[in-house]
Chains A and B, each alone.
Chain A
């Protein structure tokens, strides 16, 4: 039995019985018995010992100490001014206080007499552990010998039990303050900063990481009239146990706020012990940022209001804004600039570009993307100072291209959604819309790309310079390293050249002269780049995959989905093999691949990939992560595209509500979701919901982005579209007018978007019956379009088509017919014989011939249009049904009732099936009745005529004005029926109803539906 068991049993027994028990339990083991008896004696004597919790009274003690004023953290009375630490450091004066403790100037008495700095660590730390950690690093610290490092001389414990450090005394000011006080220019600041990096590098080479680089640890003091920076506090942070759980949080809120700004993302991880030299590189980046802009990347003010855990999250996740961009947003810019001996505009210009890239490279969240060493950072700054191209730029060619495509992609997705609705129109069938949308998208992208091409040309130049420099450096290097450097350089160059080649020859001016669209040439270059990428070996297969990914995205942006899918498949395969199926690069490539398949029209391929990506994202990042949400959004849109609104709507609703809760109602992503959800409602026929959301979206965007932001304007276009869809042209028009006005002011009178908006407004006017306003506007937009885009540009042709249709419907056949004939000819050669726009044009031209009673021309054209539409758009497509209705009507009007009847029947069945509530369905019904009436089948005709009329009448308020003339026509047929069947009461009833409408022009003649 153990001591514990015997003791427990014995302690319960009366004193008299214990001896006997012990004899039995311990037997001959005397040591055991001795130990039990010792415990039993203590047990009997202990009494109240420990029974009441520890207490400490103050002042009642017999030994009431003579203490100084009580400080909040129980200041160590053995470490204050006047104290002598471990017999040789006399504290003279307190010179600073920080999160970790107080700093004193002290006099060392032995072995040498000299002034030193003593840092006494605050209470609350395990001093044994602190000293143990310090001892572990002492050797390394002792080996540091650098003019820009303040040496750490000694460490120990005060009599009060606190650890303290003795350092070389530096009488300096924090580097940021020194620079401001002396109004150093950015160049002087950089010159002062270089030795700081070199000092850190020196320490790194000796195996010491600083871990707490911040202005107050980089002091500048004049030596021989020259400012010399000195880094202090080496080894202190490590010894004091900088890990967040331990010290930083413990020293309290202020301490963490004080240092979080300079903390690397990996340091901001709770319990993260994996800190290496690149953490110091990050902090140096923050310091450099502050030296240049006067602020830290993570804003001090925003930190002040956040909870500790939130602050850490910000440090880990929020990307630093470019220093030049930050400068443009701070309101203290004038004084920041003055402190740097310059003016605001010049300061921003100076920093923009290379210095931005240098700083951001040091501040990469992913430490593998930072400068490898502090020296790397120093060298790049020196390059900048000697006007050589910095290293931070070239790798960013890939990066920038990717970023650019990412940025543009977002716009393209958002824009394509909104533009889909922006391009409205009479001729604007669904397919016509998509065509126009694509053109619009490209026009938008082209503007951005022109700018980009220019930038890239500059980058190219920089590349060449850099290559020369790199070769020079390589020569100086040792032979072994030289070889590798050259090889790497060759890879890098090859990669850069490949990406650069995409932009070669893209001089916007020349392109304008050549008359070829920019995107065509861009696309050609991209295709070439894809081929070359396959041919050349570029080192790491992952690098190749990343380039393929980038090229694939660019191709997508340019509308070449087929080739994009090929490249993206390759990138996906490499990522999956090398990084695993749920690596974020793999998931990125999957997501793009799905978009590619979708845009290539292969929805059945896209859907499963989206679904897979979504479930992997959910597992990897959680259901609320922004990446997860964007996949969810895209999946929903793909469902919508495939007509599966039952699947799309819940996803759209979920994405919107998560984003709203997570990001706020006016975050751009939330607004995109809101727009997409509203479009979904629109497709689902829930117009009220759509309209409400669009209205909310417009007002949010107006406040958030401004009334003339492209997004706002696009949202307004959508709202107008929703109003039109609900038959409220009166509400749509003012919005379209405002949109056009703002676009003109924002983008200019002949910008493609402006022209598109003019086109839309003209169609709106026309829909509202305002032909006087519609015609001149459309004519102007075509004139501008011809000049800007060319006479055979699809947008121009589209407008011409619209114009002809308006002429047609306002009876100006003499103008409509030649216009349409010419347009059709151009469109056929330009777009191909069965392009949807061609079909639309054919349909319109047939309607014109019809109006002129040129049956021999109208019938064959109408028949051809129907045939093409059936095969191109499908037998149930609304446009196909338009064609069918019109052809049937042409047969009827040309006296071919035997052909008209079955066609009307078929059309009615299909319309009832696909558009049961549309006014045009009832129009077809009434027309079928008219055909039967012509055959004197009165009994068959009556219900059709009655139903058709009732249906049209019920929709009078919501149908477009040109639809309303169908109502008196339907009434005329009823009157004809009842006259023929001799029912005067009915005749009288419908004549009264008919009297409310204008009298028929000449002979009442049903006219074809125009589109």
Chain B
């Protein structure tokens, strides 16, 4: 058994402290996976959250079924967020030597594929988290963790309908926040 399955077992068994041990392990695995991907010779390699997180799950957990696998995905989403944001910071700093530019409205969807876009979303997400942590977590799971809506709903322990409603709201909230439209 990997340490991750040990921890998931412990969570299933009701250990309240076990979940906090997941992040470092998952982060480490994802970081290694990401590094391996990026170290490839093909310059067009892409870091895809969906692929990485699911690969990490397979590597660390395998095909076992855990009641509380949601904890894994929560940890994975947070880890992925850190990895992507760290990278984005480095690149962004190189480009601008510091401060960020406002993202032009309309290009927002594409802008998310850039470092600045990503950093902007992360900052906005942090503000959303202060207003409504559940919705921010949902966005993190879907956007950084690459989960589908049903997976994310399961991880959060809410119904699919609730998750859909939260999503609609969070998406509009973040879009409004980023486009700064009045």
Binding site for B on A (CB under 8 A): 4, 7-8, 11, 38-43, 45-51, 53-61, 63, 65-67, 70, 72-74, 76-78, 123-124, 159-161, 245-247, 249-250, 252, 270-271, 307-309
Contacts and interface: CB of A to CB of B under 8 A. Distances in A.
A42 B168 CA distance: 10
A55 B49 contact: yes
A58 B172 contact: no
Contact of B109 (A48, A53, A60, A124): A48
Contact of A161 (B93, B106, B173): B93
B93 A7 contact: no
A367 to B, nearest CB: 22
Nearest to A46: B175
Given A38-B181, A56-B84, A245-B20, A250 B28 contact: yes
Contacts of B182: 38
A175 B175 CA distance: 57
Interface string B29-42: 00110010011000
Nearest to B89: A161
A7 B170 CA distance: 11
Contacts of B48: 53, 55
Contacts of B171: 42-43, 46, 49-50
Contact of A50 (B25, B35, B80, B174): B174
A158 to B, nearest CB: 9
Contacts of B105: 45
Contacts of B57: none
A54 B117 CA distance: 10
21 contacts: A11-B168, A38-B176, A42-B179, A43-B171, A50-B112, A50-B171, A50-B174, A53-B49, A54-B118, A55-B47, A56-B84, A57-B46, A58-B44, A58-B46, A63-B114, A70-B38, A74-B35, A78-B93, A160-B90, A161-B89, A245-B24
Nearest to B46: A57
A37 to B, nearest CB: 10
B3 interface: yes
Contacts of A78: 90, 93-94
Contact of B114 (A38, A39, A40, A61): A61
Nearest to A72: B35
A38 B172 CA distance: 9
B14 interface: no
Contacts of A77: 90, 94
Interface string B109-148: 1001111001001000000000000000001001111100
Given A40-B172, A246-B24, A271-B20, A54 B144 contact: yes
B165 interface: yes
Given A41-B181, A53-B48, A245-B24, A8 B168 contact: yes
Contact of A45 (B88, B165, B175): B175
B24 A249 contact: yes
Nearest to B80: A54
Contact of A53 (B32, B108, B144, B172): B144
Interface residues of B, number: 67
B87 interface: yes
Nearest to A160: B90
A937 B125 CA distance: 111
B159 interface: no
A307 B3 CA distance: 8
A249 B95 contact: no
B181 A160 contact: no
B31 A49 contact: no
A270 B168 contact: no
Contacts of A45: 105-106, 175, 179
Contact of A252 (B3, B28, B46): B28
Contact of B87 (A11, A38, A50, A56): A56
Interface in B3-30: 3, 6, 17, 20-21, 23-25, 27-28
Contacts of A60: 43-44
B106 to A, nearest CB: 8
A124 B27 contact: yes
A56 to B, nearest CB: 5
Contact of A49 (B87, B90, B109): B109
Given A39-B172, A42-B179, A250-B27, A54 B143 contact: yes
A160 to B, nearest CB: 5
Contacts of B28: 249-250, 252
- Most central of B32, B47, B145, B176 by chain A CB within 10 Å: B176
A872 to B, nearest CB: 58
A51 B108 CA distance: 12
A72 B31 CA distance: 8
A7 B172 contact: yes
B67 interface: no
